[in-house]
Structure 1
Amino acid sequence: MNQYDFAGKVAVVTGGAQGIGLSVVERLLDGGAAVAIWDRDPHALQAAQQKLQAQGTVHTVVTDITNMASVEQASADTTAALGPVSILVNSAGIAGANAPTVDYPDTEWDQVIKVNLHGTFNVNKVLLKGMVSQGYGRVVNVASIAGKEGNPNACAYSASKAGVIALTKSIGKETAGQNISVNAITPAAARTKIFDQMSQQHIDYMLSKIPRGRFVQVDEIASLVGWLVSAENSFTTGAVFDLSGGRATY
């Protein structure tokens, strides 16, 4: 397993109390980073801290990324506890309901867009300010293959993740001259608790589209993220990295 040197670096991982985010937290701790986990579930945060505290410095903050005031407070709490943040992995997200677009509930659409896209904007906006001041930063926004391909019966999720891709490209261009790398990843589905939000029919559909014939493992995602947020990634920005098991057509 490749290991990157994150000694002296402070990282924030949103949605880091479980699933993809938790695996990323472990990879960052292995490299010596101090990691703040932002999550809206206090019980999951407590469990994550108990699991990880022996691995290194872990700070947890109950955060609602859809609320700018909550994000600003989380940023202040993290900086006070650990120091200036130079790494962000934005992994928080929800799947939403599975239904044809003509039947998709308006409230569900609003919530998915609010968490996945507005939340990503809020976190990037707040934490990038400090990275600009430092003249250094590494950001990975977790999008999805659905943002490239568009999954049927998942219009809100697909649209929100397409928005994350475009937002990432915009920010990457804006900060390219400031030693800040901002990239997105587009994983296929990983078997995490997000599956609880999906119908079995939709899960079967996603699997059928992956040439590898299996779902991606969270540690495989964390492996790529580790390089993207390392100092070694000194050139690539505004890019989208495929983790779809061969599904992506572009």
Structure 2
Amino acid sequence: MDYGKPIIVPINSIEVAAITSSNTYDFHDRVALVTGGASGIGAATAALLRAGGATVVVADLVVGDAEHALGCDVTDAAAVDTVVDTVVRTHGGLDILVCAAGTPGTVGLPWEIGDEEWRRISAVNLDGTFHACRAAARHMAQRRRGRIVNVASVAGTRGQASLAAYAASKAGVVNLTQSFGVALASYGVLVNCVTPGVIRTPLLEGVDDDALDAMVSRMPIGRMGEPEEVARLIAFLASDDLTFSTGATFDVSAGRTLT
């Protein structure tokens, strides 16, 4: 039988509504910290955790006057330590950490990357994740419970000719997740990460239409993802329903890793 060419159906408002109104997990009596939680995947995750009953603290460079929001530069280890200490002191503990702070870097060939740009991307994506995981782990290990979810990228699972610094930093996040996962397993703390593909977030600002179309064309589902779609997976990984997985990488790239 000839099935012809696949039909790509673009996401519409009805589908988006279905995504944002999905059921939530029970996070009552849980305290969560979301770095990079003022926009994109971080904001969608914070909203979903709140919908489940969690007390959610958002840490970001700019947070405005939002409730339970703290200004923080994740590249500053002391600032991250202060945020975690503040959350623990103010809310009585920290049960969930989601590391969603990140930067895409600039597009170019690997040998065109300057030292300053390399260090900047690594400082946000890899160092920032390490700072938050380290600070949270110290507290969670003492309490012998907790969930940590890091946001890596499908780019971190394979080399990227035009995004070498970004890909390398996200590959580091995957490996860092494995290290923390193994180290904290006996303490009752589970650490996992997600690897999103092309998601409709502010990180795509500045990417020209041709480059964006090319990225989407390599995704078998044939469209960009929505932040809420990633957030739903993160919510599961942060929930008590997750009991037997740590140090793992969960793909949310619409099949990009298979092409």
Unaligned runs of 5+ in 1: 50-57
**1:183–1:228 CA contact under 8 A, matched in 2:** yes
Contact kept, 8 Å, 1:71 with 1:126, in 2: the verdict is yes
Q: Matched residues in 1 for 2:203 and 2:244: separation?
A: 33
Equivalent AA in structure 2 for residue 18 of structure 1: S
- Of 28, 33, 39 in structure 2, the residue corresponding to residue 18 of structure 1 is 39
8 Å CA contact retained: 1:95, 1:197: no
Structure 1 residue 105: deviation in Å? Answer: 2.2
Superposed CA offset, 1:71-109 (max 9, x none): 111112222222211100000000000001121222111
Paired residues for 1:47-196 under 5 Å: 49=66, 58-196=67-205
Alignment match, 2:60 = 39
SS of 1:190's equivalent? coil
Query: What percentage of aligned pairs have identical amino acids?
Result: 38
Q: Secondary structure at the match of 1:236?
A: coil
Matched ranges for 1:199-218 at <5 A: 199-218=208-227
**Contact 1:21–1:91 (8 Å) recurs in 2:** yes
Query: Normalising to structure 2: TM-score of the pair?
Result: 0.88
How far, CA to CA, are the matches of 2:86 and 2:147 in structure 1? 20
Secondary structure of 2:257's partner? coil
Structure 1 residue 199 displacement after superposition: 4.2
Structure 1 runs of 4+ aligned residues shifted over 6 Å read: none
Aligned residues: 238
- SS for the counterpart of 1:37 is strand
Of structures 1 and 2, the larger Rg is shown by 2
Q: Deviations over 1:147-166 (max 9, x none)?
A: 01232210010000000000
Partners of 1:147 and 1:132 lie apart in 2 by 27
1:224 maps onto 2:224 in alignment: no
Cα RMSD for the two superposed structures: 1.4
C-alpha separation in 1, matches of 2:214 and 2:128 = 27
* Unaligned 5+ runs, structure 2: 1-21
Amino acid at match of 2:175: A
The residue that corresponds to 2:14 in the other structure is none
The alpha carbon displacement at 1:234 in A equals 1.2
What SS does structure 2 have at the residue aligned with 1:175? helix
TM-score, reference length from structure 1: 0.91
Answer whether contact 1:120 1:141 (CA < 8 A) is retained: yes
